[in-house]
Each structure stands twice: as C-alpha cells, then as structure tokens.
Amino acid sequence: MVASVLALTLTPELAVANTDPVPSVGGIRAIELPDGTHRVTLTRESQPKSERPTIDRLVAEAKSAGADLRPALEKYARDFAAANPSQVADQPDGPAYYPPVKIDGIRIEELIDLGQVAEDEGIPHAEAINRYAWQTTLQAVHNKLESTFPDEASGTSLLNDGRTARIGFKGKIPELALRLARTLPGEVELIGDKGFSKKELRETLESSSKELGKRAEVAGYVGKYDIETGVIHFEVEPQKGLKDPGRRAAVLSALRLQPPVNPRMRIEINISDDLNLRPAEGVGQKAGVTAAGRKAGAAADDPYLRGGGILASGTTGTVWKCTSAFNLIRSDGYHSTTSARHCWELSGDQYWFYFNHPNYTGNRTTLGFTQNASRQYDFSRLVQSGSVNLTFTRTFYAALNRPRYVTANGTSPVEGSRVCFFGRTSHDADGEYTCGTIVESDVTYRMTGMSGDWFGGIRTIFDGSPPPVTQGGDSGGPLWYGNTAWGITSAAGGTSLFVATDRINDADGLGTSWNVWTCPTC
C-alpha cells in the first residue's frame, strides 16, 4: 500500500497575469477559461466523418451471424492478399502472421489490436474502432505540431474514452494547429496561453530528477508531469531508516528542490511508505510454455531472430529471465537486438540464450550484453556471440508465435492513446497480449533497491485481467500499437513502466547511430 502523508510544493513567488485580449484563431473567437487559458472547440459534428464501408459491412455480417468481428477481419485480409498479390506490400524478412493489408485505410494489425483493446475494456470491437482508430492520425498531427513549434507545444491528449483530442500551446494557438485539427475525424479542443511548453516540463522533470537522485535520503522515486496543469510531481520513498512518521517532516524539508524557472510551473513532492516499483525481471523460473502455446508452436524451427523472443540464462538456458524488445540497426547496417538494461545488471550474466517461439529447446542462439548500455535509460544492446546465428529481422512477436513487422518507431506518444505489450510471463498461451492506455509520456524513476535513475519512461494502465500490470519476466518486452514500436518493458509492481524507444538514438541512449530497425514499406 502506498501512503502519502506529507507534501511539498515548490513554485516561484512571481505571479503571472494574462492581460492579452481574447484572441481569435482563423476567424474563430476563443473562449477565455477561468485559469487564463483560451479554448477553441471543433465539435465532432463539424469535423470530417470516417468512411469505413468494408468494415461496416463486416460488422453487420458478423452481428447477423452472431459471430465475433476479429475472425471476419482476419479472413478478409487473407482473402484479399491471396486474390490481389500485386497490391500487397513486400515482406522482405519472410511472411508475418498477418498479410500487409489495409481495410478502409487501416492496417489489419491495428484493427486486431483494437479488438484486444475492446476485450480489455469490455466494449464491442466495432466501438473500439469508432473510438480509437483515429489516434494514428492524431499522432501524426501531434508530431507535426511538436516539430514545428517545439518551444510552444504543451502536449496532446486523447480524452473522453477516445472521443475528444486536446492540443495545448504555451502562447497563442497557431493557425496551422487549427488547419490540422480540422482534418481530424473527432472533437478537438485547442488550448492556448497555458504558459508552459512540454519541452520545459520535460527538461525541468529530468533536471529535478537528477538533483533528487543525488539525495542520500532517497531509496526510490517516480517523477512525472501534468500537461494540463504544469505540475511536476514526485512520489519519493525514503531510505528504510527514515520511514518513521516522526522524521517525515525533516525528510521532506531535506528534499527541497530548485523551483522551476517558469512561474507557471511548480514542483510537488509526496513521501510514500512503499512505491511498490520493482524490475519486471523473472528470477529462477524455468523456460517453457503452456500446453496451448506448445501445441500452437509445434511448427518447424524459425531461422529468424525477432523482437519479443525469450531470454534465458544458465548453462543450458533453462532459467528464463526476460523478453527481448525490438531489433536495432546501426547507421552502417550492423544489427543487434535490445532488452532492459536491468536484466543484465541484476543477473550478473554477460551471456544469455535467445529462443524464438516455435521451438523452445533447439531453436536458439547465444546473445552477449554489450558494454555500451544506455547511461540514462533502461535498455541495453545485445549481440549474437555463439556458433549458431539466426537472421535479424524487422519483425517482433506481438503475441506468442505471431510475428509482426515494425514499420515505424514512435516519437512522443499522445497521452490517452492505446498501446499493447507482450511479455513472456504475462502471455504464455498462443495469441495472448494485453492493451492499455498511456497515462504519462515522460516518467523518471528509481526502483527501490537499485542504484540507477531512469528517464524517458512511458507509464501505461492496463484494464484487462490478467494481467493488471507487467510481471517479472516481462522485462525488455515490446510495447507497440499496430506496426509502430513505442517502448521496452522496464518496471512492474504498482504501475507499468516502459522506456520509450525514441530514446534509443539519443546521445545518452545507445548513440545517434542506433535506431529501431523498421521497414516503412512493409
């Protein structure tokens, strides 16, 4: 249980008064809100409508037959690929589980993920498509605005169960934002004059985290920011000897940090008895697979090394520890794979076995953890080092025995978006994986009992059962949506944290020459 009994708020003494007249954007007069911000709302009725005739037909047919929509979508995609081979994209690393087919402009993999979202949220599959299929277009708009206005964009979120998008700015709402928002098939709220940018929030969060990490009183912490309010919040677990209630005030006072330079932002610190945050690494568990997975995986050996494979230690690879994430490529064409850095640090083993899914006993290769693990993020690079070499691919296992191509590496996810993860502990039967909601897109943390301070975390809430959160052995596994890579499993316990894959080519990641290996044309 987490108990927060004291809180500290840090903010400059300056007050900011908004004296600007109520602005207009593209001829639309903004509404002034009580907090001094301004809002322009594009109602759903005024926005473009999503036309999905084929999906609508399949929905109607499935409903009439009393059947699930997912098998109907899968059959349509496979039938279309078989009948129209010239219209299907090439798959250079061998066929994936689903053919590269779009239905009404939406990739089949994304439609299947929305079926899993529906199952986890307890809503019909068709409803999940109606609510969330536009998040891919929203992400593209968000990326464009962040790249065009890096010092002004203050974050994008998907709200109201996927029905509303909110896009914020430090100052005035740019007319480009209005033009792009008008292309989205959903309600959009444009918020101006928030007084802070996402860039400022991220930089203040990371600098404050580095400062907090130096304090001897701190055993563990989680830091995040709120793009709506500009509050940077830390939950801090003190060292064991400082948890006595009588000492809390002194501990809190000692944790006083430098206030943000921007007066519209502030820092809050809470003291917690137990963050319940631990590495999602398996310990002492046997490599293997359930009866369902073993039956489904009775195919011939797979010669490829994919993301989402099983990582095991021990002289014969009988003790599995973690899951791999995505394969990487260096600027000169050299390949590696990746997993959580803490897997290597906790195990003390430099060499592990990698197993792909069809055969857990003979189809394996040896991987070695390299010495250029990230200094700031919870991921590490692994290279093949044994006598058996598998072929690196641009694919990952999105579920047991179900490879999928990576076509893009995601950047700066929209909060409220749906994403999915696969991990060896949580998903040991054929076809299993879990989808949830991104609630924070930049999180910093130190897991209690570990020395490293980590950055670039994506915190995700999973509503499905099982599992409610990631578990030991899931560490290093992939986080994705559709065919876009988003993260690498890091922490479990009271929350699920994934380090963002867009940090891989950061100077403090693996270096600017490394990135997720993608196939944009697949």
Same domain, 230 and 292: no
Residue 335, in any domain of the structure: yes
Q: Cα separation of 37 and 40, whole Å? A: 10
State which of 152, 171, 193 marks the end of a domain. Answer: 193
Same domain, 299 and 164: no
Same domain, 252 and 389: no
Q: Is 147 helix (H, G, I), strand (E, B) or coil?
A: helix
Query: Which residues constitute the domain of residue 308?
Result: 279-516
State the total domains in the chain: 3
Same domain, 183 and 330: no
Residue by residue, pLDDT tens for the chain (522 residues) are 333 334 444 444 333 334 455 688 888 888 999 999 999 999 999 999 999 999 999 999 999 999 999 999 999 999 999 999 999 989 999 999 999 999 999 999 999 999 999 999 999 999 999 999 999 999 999 999 999 999 999 999 999 999 999 999 999 999 999 999 999 999 999 999 999 999 999 999 999 999 999 998 899 999 999 999 999 999 999 888 777 777 777 788 888 899 999 999 999 999 888 888 888 766 444 444 443 343 343 345 678 899 999 888 766 666 667 899 999 999 999 999 999 988 888 777 778 888 888 655 556 788 876 766 788 999 999 998 877 788 999 999 999 889 999 999 999 999 999 999 999 888 888 889 999 999 999 999 998 877 789 999 999 988 755 556 788 889 999 999 999 999 999 988 778 999 999 999 999 999 999 999 999 999
Residue 462, in any domain of the structure: yes
Same domain, 319 and 241: no
Tell me, what's the pLDDT at 301? 67
The model carries a pTM of 0.91
CA distances from 463 to 136, 280, 434, 482 (A): 21, 18, 9, 19
State which of 274, 305, 328 marks the end of a domain. Answer: 274
Domain of 349: which CATH number?
2.40.10.10
47 and 164 in contact (C-beta within 8 Å)? no
Residue 135, in any domain of the structure: yes
Same domain, 379 and 304: yes
Residue 310, in any domain of the structure: yes
Tell me, what's the pLDDT at 477? 95
Tell me, what's the pLDDT at 284? 44
Which residues have CB under 8 Å from 460's CB, separation 6+? 419, 421, 436, 437, 438, 439, 479, 496, 497, 498
State which of 274, 307, 333 marks the end of a domain. Answer: 274
Question: Which H/E stretch holds residue 521?
Answer: none
Same domain, 235 and 157: no
Q: What residues does 434 pair with on adjacent strands?
A: 421
Parallel, antiparallel, or unpaired: how do β-strands 4-10 and 31-32 relate? unpaired
Same domain, 242 and 363: no
The label of the residue with tokens 């699920």 reads 496
**Nearest Cα residue to 289 out of 400, 364, 420:** 400
Same domain, 150 and 240: no
Same domain, 253 and 304: no
Residue 20, in any domain of the structure: no
Tell me, what's the pLDDT at 273? 85
Residue 498, in any domain of the structure: yes
Question: Which H/E stretch holds residue 207?
Answer: helix 198-213
Which residues have CB under 8 Å from 35's CB, separation 6+? none
Residue 19, in any domain of the structure: no
Residue 28, in any domain of the structure: no
Same domain, 453 and 306: yes
Q: Which tokens hold the place of 5?
A: 């009994």
Same domain, 267 and 286: no
